[in-house]
Each structure stands twice: as structure tokens, then as C-alpha cells.
Amino acid sequence: MKKLTLLFAFLTSLTGACKMDQKKASDSVATETAGQINGITKKWWKEDVVYQVYPRSFKDSNGDGIGDLQGLTQKLDYLKNLGVGVIWLGPHFKSPNVDNGYDISDYRDIMTEFGTMQDFDALLAGVKQRGMKLILDLVVNHTSDQHQWFVESRKSKTNPYRDYYIWRPAKNGKEPNNWTSGFSGSAWKLDTPTNEYYLHLFAVQQPDLNWDNPKVRKEVFDVMKFWLDKGVDGFRMDVIPFISKNPEFPDLKPGEDFGAIISNGPHVHDYLQEMNREVLSKYNMTTVGEASGVSLQRTPDFIDERRHELNMIFQFDIVNTIDRAPGWKHTKPWKIEDFKAVFTKYETQLDKHTWNTVFFGNHDNPRIVSRFGSDLPEYRAPSAKMLATMLFTLKGTPFVYQGDELGMTNYAFKDMKDVNDVEARNAYTDLVLGGKVDTKTYIAELNKTGRDNARTPMQWDASPNAGFTTAAKPWLVVNPNYKEINAAQETTDTASIYNYYRKMIELRKNTPALIYGDYKDLDPAHPQVFIYTRSMEGKKILVLLNFSNKQVDYTLPQSTTLKTLLATNVSGVQMDKDDKGNIKFHLTPYQASVYEIN
């Protein structure tokens, strides 16, 4: 008997072990599928919501009227409570602030107005303590003209730093080619000490770095490691597709798209793959490239995970679906169908190796509720919540821009003396002082599309200057509607836009189908309603948005069964059945409703 028992025990141990092996094997299989979901590689930066902070306008802690790092640290619990997982910090490096930090004079020091390296270290520690992550805004297509490299480079043609930048002699006594700067005027500036031109795709004070110089690439990679070794979790990369230029600098021909050309230089992918080999691959971090000029077709070239370049890019098809000031920017009427077509293009043209971002605003664009919703009193809250519903249910990493979670609006600048943005001030000089556009027209258009709209100080409460600063005069005007629109009111009001954002972020976090699920537009041609599904592993989520200020009746596709109402921005959803028994919604203006369906 004993033998049998022993034998049985032995066999059991075998089968047990075998079961163990199977379990381990199944675990490993589970792990493999755990590494993927719906055919997509799982990553933290695909699951978190990112919140963009424009530090100059976020919170002033020392009463000088300018936001700073200590101010941001004081507000980390506000962001934690909102539910965002990652903070994208606008440029915090030393800068003379010609372009509010996008002109860097020292990559290893903190902008004087923002505080000290100790303040930065305290901010990073505060972010980590709350289980959040911090990505920095890396501006390496150009530096400030006050960077030591440029100070040296312009001294002489033989200076060791000469080739850190892009210098060319005059051509027929003029600029080397006909390129214009993004901030008006020629993209070339004649520099007297050496009587040559240097390239600046943006302000004169932002000379472009010469990425063809391996010393420049090494300097940049060392800067990246300096901050990654401090523990930051990644970079947003300013106009990174612009870093490689055709050394012939051919003129732009009539009808050519400058953005498409400048974002597709001969070595852009070589340099990004080198950056990945030398830096990115060595850290658990993420990258998102600002890819103005990159078409959807070329998007995988930058972010297909098998190419080992960047993780994500900001593609500009959405923000470019909107009109711009005539004479200043291209002007075209905006249609919801254009907007919807972009997301269908993303779904059908990007495969599972290419992950998208979803954003409707940032520090370079007007406020989303004014631009894509309505900032009229009766529609501001419903339309802001409708936009939030879209932001957190479309496919891709959502980027929230500071203040949009409060429904902050554009500000109607009355006078150029209040306008800070170098892009707007240069365009004013060129267009108005140049006699091409009258002041009234220019300011009216600027108020629709100008960048300062999104840079007015964060509205914390109803105290003077919205609680942003104790200074008498903040660096930029505070929108006077702060008395009604502010964080103190909204964090305590359960029906506020802030709390709607918080609930939608929570819903997204707890619903894998909203993160990794397939996207399908159910009615691309409808002129007011945006209706789509997100589906994965048998779970199907229906998102129904009335993108208009009209009451709209909308009948769902045949045999759709509503299982659970997951979110809505109205107090009571109105619906009945049509004569075929299909569900018919009576959508109120800007109504958003999210259901789990069969």
C-alpha cells in the first residue's frame, strides 16, 4: 500500500509539477497576451491622461506676477484629484523669454523667473510621491541667441562653435533663399560680425541648431541624459521633425507646402534613430514629437514601434481643421465632417504598431470651448463637457491643456499693448504696420486664433487676479470671467466641468475598450451628430455627441440595445422608439451620452 501511496504521490507531484509547468506556461502565455491587448502593445503612456502645464500662467508663488515651479508644486493635489497621470511641463530651462521659454540659453539650468534647481527637484519629488509622471518640453531644433554656443558661433567663421548653427553667405546680395520664418519675415538674419546669414525658422532670437554636426547631436543627447538621470519620465519634443535640413537650401517653389518639406529633411529619421539608440532605449520613458507638417501618411515613419524612433507625435490635422485669421494664417470654414474624417483616417491608416495622441488645444491654440464648442453662457458648460467626452473616448493618449478642465475661454484682447506672444506681435508689425491689414481686423482675427487666448493665467478662485498671483499686475491679462469660472467653484460643484473631466478620466482608466478598443464612426456624413463605437473583446461602447447648438433627433442603427448609461452631460436623456422600434434620441444642444451597448 505504502508503495502505491508513494507512487501516487510521485505521479501527483509529476502532474502537479506538470500542472505547475502548464500554469507557468499559461502564465507566460498570459504574460505575452498581458504584454498585448487587442493586438496592441500595452504601455503606461497609452493608458495615462497627460496634462499640459504652461508654467508661466499656472500659479505664481512669490508674487512677481509670473507662474513658477513652487506654484505648480503647490497645485499637484489639484492635478492628482483630477486623475491625470502625467504632467507635461512647458519649457522650464534658462531663457530670455523672447518666446516664453522656447528660446533656451542654458539647458541645464532653471529659468530665473521659475525658481531654482532645488524647486525643480522638489516638484519632481512631489510628482513621484503622488504616483504621477513628469515629461519635459525639449526644444532642440533651435536655441536662444543668448546661448553660449551661439555667442561663440557668431564671433568668427573659424570659431569651434561656428558649425553648431546654420550659416550661409548672401546669394546675389540677398538672403540665401526665400524661406520665411514662422514668426514673420525672412528665415535668415544677416549677422554683421562675420557678414553671413544664419537660419531661424522662428524668431530672429531663435537660431536653428545644425543637427548635421555630430557634436550638436552629442550635446543634445547629453542634455537629455542629464534630465533623465534626475528621474524625469520623457520629453515632448518641439518641432522635432524640423531638425534635418537640405544643405542646398533650395527656394520654396510656388504651391509647395513648407511644413511638409521642412519636416522631411534628408536625415531626420537617421537622427531620431541615433537618439533612440544613444538615449531613449536606455530609459523607461516616453516621447511625443510635435510634428507640425507631418502628414498622416508619414506619421508611421516617426512612431511605428518597430522603427525605434519616437513613441507618439502631435499630428496637426485636427487643430488645422479650423479657420485662421485671413492674411495671417490660412482661412477655411470648419465642418464637423472634417473633424470626424481625421479620426477615421487615423483608425484606418494607422496600424496597431502606431499609437496616436488626441488633443484639441494647447498653448499655441485658442481655447477649445471657444473654438470647437460655444462660450456663450448657456452652451459653455454642455459644450465643454461634450468635448471632454470626445477627448476621453477617442482612440489615443488624451492631452488636456491647463484650464480646459474648467471650461476657460478665449479672451477678447482690445489692444496690442496687452498682447504678449512674439508670433502675434511680429505678425502685427508685418501685416498692420506694413499696411496690409487694418488694426481692427487684425485684432478681431487674433482674438479667434491667437496663442495668448490659451495663455491667460489659470483661474484658481474669485479673489483678485483669479488667485493666480498676489501681484498687482500679472504678466498677462487675467480673463475677467474668473469670478464665474474658477477651480475653487468647480472642484466643489459636483456638476462642474472639472468634475465631469474627473469622472470621464476615471471612466477611461477603468474601461480598457476606451483605451485599446477599435474605433468606428457610425455616421461620418451627419452634419451635427458625431456617433462612434469603441469595441474590444465583446465589450462595445457607444459615444453619441450633438456637436451643435440645436435640438437634434437621432435614431440609432437598427437593433442597437442600450445596456448601461456610462456618462452624460444632461440631467435626463430624452428618447423614445420610432415606428420600426429603433431607439430615437432627442438630443439637446451639445448633448453627450456614452453607453455600453450590445
Q: Kindly list the catalytic residues.
A: 238, 290
Q: Would you tell me the crossing angle of helices 214-228 and 268-278 to the nearest 10 degrees?
A: 40
292 is a site residue for ligand TEU (CB under 6 A): yes
Strand pairing report for 552-555 and 583-587: antiparallel
Question: Closest separation between CB of residue 272 and ligand TEU, Å?
Answer: 17
* CA 19 to chain CA mean position, Å: 48
Instruction: Express the helix, strand and coil content of the chain in percent, nearest 5 each.
Output: 40, 20, 45
Question: Closest separation between CB of residue 293 and ligand TEU, Å?
Answer: 8
Dihedral sign for Cα 548, 551, 557, 561, please: positive
Q: Which of 135, 204, 239, 487 binds ligand TEU (CB under 6 A)?
A: 239
Q: Which of 48, 191, 364, 490 binds ligand TEU (CB under 6 A)?
A: 364
Distance CA 421, CA 476 (A): 10
Name 61's Cβ contacts closer than 8 Å, sequence gap at least 6. Answer: 68, 70, 71, 74
Interface residues for Ca ion in 11-40 (CB under 5 A)? Answer: none
Of the candidates 393, 389, 260, 385, which has an alpha carbon nearest to the alpha carbon of residue 316? 260
Name 250's Cβ contacts closer than 8 Å, sequence gap at least 6. Answer: 177
208 is a site residue for ligand TEU (CB under 6 A): no
Strand, helix or coil at 374?
coil
Strand pairing report for 93-94 and 583-587: unpaired
Question: Closest separation between CB of residue 68 and Ca ion, Å?
Answer: 4
Distance CA 110, CA 21 (A): 54
452 is a site residue for ligand TEU (CB under 6 A): no
Question: Closest separation between CB of residue 204 and ligand TEU, Å?
Answer: 12
Distance CA 293, CA 235 (A): 19
Nearer to ligand TEU, 191 or 238 (CB): 238
Query: What is the 3-state secondary structure of 425-476?
Result: HHHHHHHHHCCCCCHHHHHHHHHHHCHHHHCCCCCCCCCHHHHCCCCCCCCC
Distance CA 123, CA 53 (A): 13
137 binds, among ligand TEU, Ca ion, none (CB under 5 to 8 A by kind): none
Question: Closest separation between CB of residue 203 and Ca ion, Å?
Answer: 24
Adjacency order of strands within the sheet including 167-168: 167-168, 196-199, 188-191
DSSP 315: -
- Assigned C-alpha cell, 393: 473616448
Distance CA 282, CA 267 (A): 22
User: Is residue 475 exposed (0-12), middle (13-18) or buried (19+ Cβ within 10 Å)?
Assistant: buried
Interface residues for ligand TEU in 538-597 (CB under 6 A)? Answer: none
Nearer to ligand TEU, 149 or 530 (CB): 149
Question: Closest separation between CB of residue 425 and ligand TEU, Å?
Answer: 12
Total chain residues near Ca ion (CB under 5 A): 5
Question: Closest separation between CB of residue 57 and Ca ion, Å?
Answer: 11
Amino acid making up residue 307: R
Q: Which of 48, 175, 208, 238 binds ligand TEU (CB under 6 A)?
A: 238
- Assigned C-alpha cell, 414: 482690445
Q: Which of 88, 102, 107, 271 binds ligand TEU (CB under 6 A)?
A: 102
Total chain residues near ligand TEU (CB under 6 A): 13
Distance CA 52, CA 3 (A): 71
Question: Closest separation between CB of residue 288 and ligand TEU, Å?
Answer: 12
Of the candidates 61, 54, 53, which has an alpha carbon nearest to the alpha carbon of residue 116? 61
Contact flags string 312-351 toward Ca ion, x per CB under 5 A: ----------------------------------------
Nearer to Ca ion, 66 or 98 (CB): 66
177 binds, among Ca ion, ligand TEU, none (CB under 5 to 8 A by kind): none
- Assigned C-alpha cell, 224: 537629455
364 binds, among Ca ion, ligand TEU, none (CB under 5 to 8 A by kind): ligand TEU
Q: Which of 48, 60, 68, 99 binds ligand TEU (CB under 6 A)?
A: 99
Contact flags string 397-426 toward ligand TEU, x per CB under 6 A: --------------------------x---
46 binds, among Ca ion, ligand TEU, none (CB under 5 to 8 A by kind): none
Contact flags string 49-68 toward Ca ion, x per CB under 5 A: -----------x-x-x-x-x
Nearer to Ca ion, 62 or 177 (CB): 62
Distance CA 98, CA 85 (A): 31
Q: What size, in residues, is the chain?
A: 598
Of the candidates 105, 99, 92, which has an alpha carbon nearest to the alpha carbon of residue 137? 92
182 is a site residue for ligand TEU (CB under 6 A): yes
Contact yes or no for 235/194 (Cβ under 8 A):
no
317 binds, among ligand TEU, Ca ion, none (CB under 5 to 8 A by kind): none
Question: Closest separation between CB of residue 227 and ligand TEU, Å?
Answer: 18
202 is a site residue for ligand TEU (CB under 6 A): yes
179 is a site residue for ligand TEU (CB under 6 A): no
Task: Give the angle subtended at the CA of 572 by the CAs of 566 and 577, to the nearest 5°.
Answer: 90
238 binds, among Ca ion, ligand TEU, none (CB under 5 to 8 A by kind): ligand TEU
Nearer to Ca ion, 96 or 524 (CB): 96
Q: Would you tell me the crossing angle of helices 377-391 and 497-509 to the nearest 10 degrees?
A: 10
Q: Which of 40, 72, 84, 139 binds ligand TEU (CB under 6 A)?
A: 139
Question: Closest separation between CB of residue 402 and Ca ion, Å?
Answer: 16
238 is a site residue for Ca ion (CB under 5 A): no
292 binds, among Ca ion, ligand TEU, none (CB under 5 to 8 A by kind): ligand TEU
66 binds, among Ca ion, ligand TEU, none (CB under 5 to 8 A by kind): Ca ion
Question: Closest separation between CB of residue 67 and Ca ion, Å?
Answer: 6
DSSP per residue, 223-257: HHHHHHTTT--EEEETTGGGS---TT-PPPPTT--
Radius of gyration of the chain (CA): 26
Nearer to Ca ion, 68 or 490 (CB): 68
Binding-site ranges for ligand TEU (CB under 6 A): 99, 102, 139, 182, 202, 238-239, 290, 292, 363-364, 423, 451
Residues of the shown chain interacting with Ca ion in the complex, contacts defined by CB under 5 A: 60, 62, 64, 66, 68
